Amino acid sequence: MSSAARSTDAGTTPSVEPETPVSRGVPRTRRPIGDDVSGRPLSGPVSVCVDRPILSLDRPFTYQLAEDVGAGVGSLVQVPFHGRRVRGWVLGPTDDVPARMSAVTKSLSPVRYFDEPMLELLRWMSDRYVAPLAAVIARSVPPRVASEEWAGRPAPPDAGPRRRAATHRGLHGRAGPPSPASLRSEPARLSTYRNGEALLDAIDRGDGTFVVRPAPADESAIAVACVDAALAGDRTAIVLVPEADPLPATAAAIREAFGQDVALFLGGDKRARYRMWLDIAAGRYRVVVGTRPAVFAPLSFVGLVYVHREGHALHREERSPYYHVRDVARERARIEGAVCVLAGFCPSLESTTFPRVDVEPSGRSWAPVEVVKPGPEGRSPRLVRALAQARGAFLYEPLPGYGLARVCRSCGEAAACPSCRGAIRIQAGEARCTVCEAPGRCASCGASDFGVARGGAERVHEWAQGVTRRRVVHAGTGAAPGPEAEAILVGGQEVLKDVGSPALDLVGILSADASLRRPGLSSRERAVNAWFEAAAWARRDGRVIVQTTSSNDPAVQALVMARPDRFHMSEAMRRAEAGFPAGAAVFRVAGTEELEPELEAMPHRTLLGTAAGGATVCLLALDPSDLPAFGRAVRGLAERGVVTRVEAEPHL
Ligand SMILES: [Zn+2]
Ligand SMILES: [Zn+2]
- Residue 454 CA to ligand 2 center (angstroms) comes to 19
Residue 473, H or E segment:
strand 471-474
**What's the 440 CA to ligand 2 centre distance in angstroms?**
11
Hey, is 119 helix, strand or coil? Answer: helix
- pLDDT above 60 (res 38): no
Identity of the residue numbered 428: A
Predicted confidence at residue 171, as pLDDT, reads 37
Ligand nearest to the CA of 416: 1
CA of 162 to the centre of ligand 1 (A): 61
Contact present, 422 and 441 (Cβ < 8 Å) = no
pLDDT per position as a tens digit, 306-315:
999 999 999 9
Mean pLDDT value across residues 242-269: 94
Ligand 2 mean position, distance from CA 401 (Å): 22
Q: What is residue 200's three-state secondary structure?
A: helix
Which ligand has the nearest atom to the CA of 424?
Answer: 1
Strand ranges (DSSP E) for 478-522? 487-491, 504-509
Q: How far is the CA of 457 from the centre of ligand 2 (A)?
A: 26
In the predicted model, what is the mean pLDDT of residues 421-439? 93
Q: Which-ligand-closest: CA of 405?
A: 2
**How far is ligand 2, taken at its centre, from the CA of residue 446, in Å?**
6
Is the pLDDT at 606 greater than 80? The verdict is yes
Ligand 1 center to 442 CA (angstroms): 11
Span 421-435, average pLDDT? 93
CA of 609 to the centre of ligand 1 (A): 26
Q: What share of the chain is helix, strand, coil (3-state, %, to 5)?
A: 30, 25, 45
Across all residues in the chain, what is the average pLDDT? 88
Cα of 498 to ligand 2 centre, how many Å?
A: 45
Q: Tell me how far the alpha carbon of residue 414 lies from the centroid of ligand 1, in angstroms.
A: 14
**Average pLDDT rounded to a whole number, residues 592-603:** 94
pLDDT at 6 over 60: no
Confidence category of residue 187, pLDDT binned at 50, 70, 90: low
Please say if the pLDDT value at position 255 is more than 90. yes
Q: What does the pLDDT read at residue 149?
A: 85
Bridge partners, 287 (sequence order): 237, 262
Please name the residues in contact with 319: beta carbons below 8 A apart, sequence gap of 6 or more.
none
Task: Assess whether pLDDT exceeds 50 at residue 19.
Answer: no
Q: Is 594's pLDDT higher than 90?
A: yes
pLDDT band at 188 (very low <50, low <70, confident <90, very high): low
End-to-end alpha-carbon separation of the chain, Å? 37
Q: How far out from the chain centre does Cα 289 lie?
A: 13
* Tally of residues, the chain: 652
pLDDT score at 39 = 66
Q: How far is the CA of 405 from the centre of ligand 2 (A)?
A: 11
Q: What pLDDT band is residue 418 in, cutting at 50, 70 and 90? A: very high
Is 365 in contact with 218 (CB distance < 8 Å)?
A: yes
Separation of 422 CA from ligand 1 center, angstroms?
5
Query: In 213-355, at which residue ranges do the beta strands (DSSP E only) sit?
Result: 236-240, 262-265, 287-290, 302-307, 339-343
Residue 529 has pLDDT above 90, yes or no: yes
Q: What is the pLDDT of residues 63-75, one digit of tens each?
A: 999 999 999 999 9
Q: Which residues contact 429 (CB under 8 A, 6 or more apart)?
A: none
Report CA(439)–ligand 1 centroid distance (Å). Answer: 8
pLDDT-above-90 percentage for the chain: 81
Report which bound ligand comes closest to the CA of 444. 2
CA of 377 to the centre of ligand 2 (A): 25
* Residue 74 to residue 89: CA distance in whole angstroms: 6
Whole-number Å distance between alpha carbons of 217 and 500: 8
pLDDT of residue 368: 98
pLDDT at 30: 45
Give the ligand at the shortest distance from the Cα of 418.
1
Distance between Cα 406 and ligand 2 center (Å): 11
Given pLDDT bands bounded at 50, 70 and 90, which one contains residue 304? very high
Distance 419 CA to ligand 1 centre (A): 5
Query: How far apart are alpha carbons 473 and 488 in whole angstroms?
Result: 6
Among 5-9, 122-126, 349-353, which is the least confidently predicted range?
A: 5-9
- What pLDDT, on a 0 to 100 scale, did the predictor assign at position 268? 87
Where in 271-396 does DSSP place strands (E)? 287-290, 302-307, 339-343, 357-359, 369-372, 393-396
pLDDT greater than 60 at residue 7: no
The CA 406 to ligand 1 mean position distance, Å, reads 15
- State percent of the chain over pLDDT 70: 87
pLDDT classification of 186: cutoffs 50, 70, 90 = low
Rounded to the nearest angstrom, the distance between the alpha carbon of 431 and the centre of ligand 2 is: 14
CA of 410 to the centre of ligand 2 (A): 5
Note the ligand closest to the C-alpha atom of 436.
1
Nearest to 226 by CA among 42, 396, 359: 359
pLDDT value of residue 475: 81
Average pLDDT of the segment spanning 428-456: 92
Position 2 confidence tier, pLDDT thresholds 50, 70, 90: very low
- Asked whether the beta carbons of 581 and 572 are under 8 A apart, the reply is yes
More confident position, 15 or 438? 438
**pLDDT tens per residue across span 480-492:** 678 999 999 999 9
CA distance 313 to 350: 13
Q: How many A from CA of 444 to the centre of ligand 2? A: 5
User: Which ligand approaches the C-alpha of residue 447 most closely?
Assistant: 2
Report DSSP state, residue 306.
E
Write down the pLDDT at residue 301.
Answer: 93
pLDDT band of residue 164 (cuts 50, 70, 90) is: very low
What's the 414 CA to ligand 2 centre distance in angstroms? Answer: 8
Rg (CA), the chain: 27
Give pLDDT, residue 539: 96
- CA 431 / ligand 1 centre spacing (Å): 11
pLDDT (0 to 100) of residue 4: 38
Chain segment 192-217, per-residue pLDDT in tens:
999 999 999 999 888 899 999 999 99
**How far away, in angstroms, is 450 Cα from ligand 1 center?**
16
CA of 461 to the centre of ligand 2 (A): 29
For the CA of 434, the nearest ligand: 1
CA 450 / ligand 2 centre spacing (Å): 8
Distance of alpha carbon 277 from alpha carbon 142, whole angstroms:
7
Q: How confident is the model at residue 614 (pLDDT cuts 50, 70, 90)?
A: confident
Is 209:19 a contact under the CB 8 Å cutoff? yes
Number of neighbouring beta carbons within 10 Å of residue 88: 25
Instruction: Give 358's strand partners.
Output: 211
